[in-house]
């Protein structure tokens, strides 16, 4: 069995599982009313809420489930189970087996996906089933999440440094630069930066399409890097994300929520280090970074320029909506830019 089949067949299986799982999951999402109890407009000062309400559908926010990301990582887990069963029942040659979790390539990103997704699910559940201030995403909860992500980053960076022996950073066209112990804080900074990009999950279908193009890019990069297990892992995530996207095209049946965004963004940081493409992340994952950067610019401008704003609203996709772009136009143009930038990132990764 060729490596290409071993990569893309699991991706197809993941997509099929996601498509079969989603109607069942959706039933329970709505049965247990798994959406925000309090709209984000309640956290905004009155003078700003009026303008925000013009681009924000608060009615949909408190009536649309926000745990759709569960479908992605559960599909990945179920795909692994199905592949294990296929290997056991039908494939005798060890070289042809499709099981893709290995200690050197995919055990760490798989562990990261599951743990980070459970952290995100806990956050979603607080805003769905919590009481009082916990339903409003208070500042204390945000600091707690940052602390959890920092701890997770610290553990994973130690694994990279002491178990996998990774201490360097690959600079395109220049080669490896040894960071020594600085590798650990650098890894944590990258992970926190990618986690901050979860603000992109604000328009129907936006995050799903962008993340699908990013993980497709990493499927190709890993494959040509001679890392077939990572390629398969990324392809399986892509298949599950496309199944999610099928039901998330406007009007969304559910949102990805933190149960999807934290797991996928944090896992992406691990994959970028495993494939030596960390410095290419701003290109490969351009829509994520430009969206997060727009938030940073807006906050910085308000603090340094006496409340003056750069954007009408931040993040960037809300600014574009405020300019008059309909949601579907924002979404599809994000997808197009994401695909093009991902292709450029793949090209640079292969020639450098």
Question: In a 3-state reduction of DSSP, which class is residue 251?
Answer: coil
Whole-number Å distance between alpha carbons of 341 and 352 = 16
Domains of the chain, residue spans = 3-351
Assessment of whether the complete model's pTM goes beyond 0.85 = yes
> Residues near 159 by Cβ (< 8 Å), separated by ≥ 6?
108
By the 10 Å C-beta count (0-12 exposed, 13-18 middle, 19+ buried), 72 is classed as buried
Q: What are 302's two structure tokens?
A: 């308000």
Whole-number Å distance between alpha carbons of 56 and 315 = 13
Whole-number Å distance between alpha carbons of 126 and 135 = 6
Q: Residue length, the chain?
A: 352
Cβ proximity of 62 and 92 under 8 Å: no
Whole-number Å distance between alpha carbons of 204 and 247 = 10
Q: Quick one: residue 176, left, alpha or beta (phi over 0 = left, psi -120 to 50 = alpha)?
A: beta
Match 């919590």 to its residue by tokens: 130
Give the pLDDT of residue 55: 64
HSE value, Cβ hemisphere, 13 Å, CA-based, for 1: 18
Closest of 226, 233, 234 to residue 349, by C-alpha? 226
Sign of CA dihedral 131, 118, 208, 77: negative
Closest of 307, 305, 281 to residue 293, by C-alpha? 281
HSE value, Cβ hemisphere, 13 Å, CA-based, for 74: 19
Give the pLDDT of residue 144: 87
Give the pLDDT of residue 129: 87
> In the 8-state DSSP scheme, what is residue 175?
E
CB atoms within 10 A of CB 60: 14
pLDDT in tens, the chain (352 residues): 577 889 999 999 999 999 999 999 999 999 999 988 776 655 555 445 445 556 656 667 778 898 999 999 999 999 999 999 999 999 988 888 999 999 889 999 999 999 999 999 999 998 888 877 766 777 888 888 899 999 999 999 999 999 989 999 999 999 999 999 999 999 999 999 999 888 898 788 999 999 999 999 999 999 999 999 999 999 999 999 999 999 988 788 999 999 999 999 999 999 999 999 999 999 999 999 999 999 999 999 999 998 899 999 999 999 999 999 999 999 999 999 999 999 999 999 999 9
């Amino acid at each position: 069995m060729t490596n290409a089949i071993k990569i893309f067949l699991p991706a197809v299986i993941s997509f099929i599982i996601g498509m079969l799982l989603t109607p069942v999951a959706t039933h329970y999402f709505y049965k247990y009313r798994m959406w925000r109890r309090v709209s984000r407009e309640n956290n905004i000062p009155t003078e700003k809420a009026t303008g925000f309400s013009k681009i924000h559908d608060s009615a949909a926010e408190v009536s649309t489930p926000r745990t759709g990301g569960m479908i992605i990582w559960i599909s990945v887990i179920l795909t692994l189970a199905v592949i294990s069963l296929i290997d056991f029942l039908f494939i005798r040659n060890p070289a042809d087996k499709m099981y893709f979790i290995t200690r050197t390539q995919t055990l760490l990103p798989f562990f990261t996906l599951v743990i980070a997704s459970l952290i995100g699910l806990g956050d979603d559940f607080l805003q769905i089933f919590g009481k009082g201030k916990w339903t409003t995403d208070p500042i204390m909860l945000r600091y707690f999440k940052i602390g959890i992500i920092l701890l997770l980053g610290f553990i994973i960076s130690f694994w990279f440094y002491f178990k996998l022996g990774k201490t360097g950073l690959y600079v395109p066209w220049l080669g490896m630069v040894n960071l020594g112990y600085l590798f650990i804080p650098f890894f944590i900074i990258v992970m926190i930066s990618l986690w901050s990009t979860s603000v992109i999950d604000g328009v129907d279908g936006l995050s799903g399409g962008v993340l699908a193009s990013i993980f497709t890019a990493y499927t190709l990069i890993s494959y040509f890097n001679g890392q077939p297990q990572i390629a398969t892992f990324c392809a399986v995530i892509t298949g599950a994300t496309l199944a999610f996207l099928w039901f998330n095209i406007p009007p969304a049946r559910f949102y990805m929520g933190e149960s999807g965004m934290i797991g996928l963004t944090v896992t992406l940081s691990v994959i970028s280090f495993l494939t030596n493409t960390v410095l290419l992340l701003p290109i490969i994952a351009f829509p994520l970074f430009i969206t997060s950067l727009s938030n940073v610019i807006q906050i910085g401008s308000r603090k340094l320029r006496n409340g003056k704003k750069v954007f009408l609203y931040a993040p960037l996709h809300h600014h574009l909506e405020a300019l008059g772009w309909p949601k579907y136009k924002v979404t599809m143009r994000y997808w197009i830019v994401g695909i093009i930038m991902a292709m450029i990132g793949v090209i640079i990764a292969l020639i450098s």
